[in-house]
A and B are shown apart, each in its own frame.
Chain A
Amino acid sequence: MNIWYEAHATLFQTTAIYVLLALSFQVVLKSGIFSFASVGAFGVGAYTAANLATRGVPIIVTLLIVVVAMTAGGYLLAIPLMHLRGLYLGMVTFAIDEILVVVATNGGKITGGAVGLFGVPLEITTLGLGLVAVIGVLLVSQLERHSVGRAIEVLRGDEQLARSVGVEVGNYRKLIFALSAALGGVAGALNTVNFSTVTPGSFGFTLIVAGLTMAIVGGIGSWRGAVLGAIFVAWFPAVSSALGGYRSIVYGVLVILVVAYEPDGLLGIIRWVIRGGRGQLARRRSAVPAPAGAAPATPPGASPAASADGSLASASELGRRGHDATS
């Protein structure tokens, strides 16, 4: 166990960093905000950490600075951006990321130019990385519960409904955007102090693809999906080394299959397996004794005729969904 752990320490470290990056994508996508801005925050966090670490600033202080700066920066950036929806917001945040790459490439001493910064003091242990990832998971998981969870669910699905029940849609969107930036920034900072190097190539388009893959393959519905996706992306190359040259092809095909056939990602597959197992058990149990008195689940107060009629009505109603109430 110990030898195996030592041999795979890098993978554990990568997983912790990926978990934070995947969460930064998952929180926005779950809330219906199509943003890649956390990758830009990853870059800013990475360079900030490199500069502070070489000046002897302890990692805990660096992380605090990154969190505060990225939350504030994310929130301020969200103010002009949050009226954008869908692909338009995606394009703008993508452009911001690319601008930051250019800035990093031409940043002189602070960014080390195209070569980047090397020999940043290693300041964090694998355990420390894991701890930060756990804090990130805790923060994000609390967003899925209680009133905050319900508000986020409804503001993704139906913004007008959210407003009508008193959810401050704009504030939610800004806060989630800021949280995503903070998570991305911390992931970037940890990446630098763990691998001792940062280059303009370490964020930008490649990282957007990686982050999106983790969040979507894992399942954007929950933090659990982000964690699964991060583990998948971090560990797949190592565990599939036997595939040799076919590794990338298998990886691509797996990603396509999951995205095409399971919109809830790996998390959806796991839930399906668990439910399937339970369903099997239930069927086997109900098959043995005759289901005496187990009437079909008709809701009380609704006559069978009314419910049959109603289901037809609701099917035709589906077509009317999204029909503007102000017509």
Chain B
Amino acid sequence: MAFFARIRLAAFVMLFLGLMVATPSIAQKLGPDGAPNPTASATNERDLLAQFPRAEGRIDIPDTKAAVLIQPAGRTWDYFHEVLLHWGGAVVILGTIGVLGLAYLVIGRIRITAGRSGQKILRFKTFERISHWLTAVSFVILGLTGLNITFGKIVLLPVIGPDAFSDISQTAKYVHNFVSFSFMMGLLLIVAIFFKDNLPEKVDLEWLKRGGGFIKNKHAPAGRFNLGEKAVYWLSLLAGIAISVSGLLLLFPFYGTNIADMQIAQVVHAVVAVLFVALILGHIYIGTLGMEGAFEAMGSGEVDLNWAKEHHDLWLARKLASEERPTQPSATPAE
């Protein structure tokens, strides 16, 4: 019995202690005049936003995104879009153009050292070139219309006025939204066609060690694609996936996404787009101004034999070897 008495005492003490702890919180629920304070359990905006990124509730209308009452992240996104993106984008893109201009002045156009042989060899088949130019034309259109959305109001609006600028921007928006599909198709084709030749090889390290062909009189060996081209391939693949996925989310707003997802999709889309434009500016430079004999590979598809020897010796050797042993006893050159 003494045991039970002790338990009863312990329980009483516990209850008493508990009440002592609980009393102040009960007191808080009463107003100064002893009346219950109806806001004691009410949330206020500050506590809610300290706990959650957004203040959300129930809504009577079918538009579910209207259930978000307050999302202060809108101001953060505004800061990203108007400050970080404007400055970051301008610095990266203009910086890239500056660096390429400097490269042209310092290194200059990389010539075919041995001069043109006059002999041509097929580097890119028609289908490969169509895939490339489909992607390239789409990219340029997407790039310009995309830059217009970010920089147009700073660069173009003051020049042509609000009415003309709105008309252009509206058209540019639709062009951007629909050309995206030809870009994604072109990207898929490029990725599939050139996958095998862009896998890393041992010779890539050798190419890098010898300065990638940028140092005069130092030959850098390479297969069909050198390490620089492979970098463009893999970075384009990564950027292409990021920009396509985020772009599709933006094309179909609020399908399984909330306001924060839409903001993140836009941030990813914008940041990757700026870096992608910088990468492709480098790609365009080396394919046109930066190197003699490079453009015709994607132009006519045929390159000079000496150019191939200097830049893609291993590929040329393989190509010539396969042409010497034609599988078909035919006089037409193998494609």
Question: Do A and B actually bind?
Answer: no
Interface set of A (CB-CB < 8 Å, partner B): none
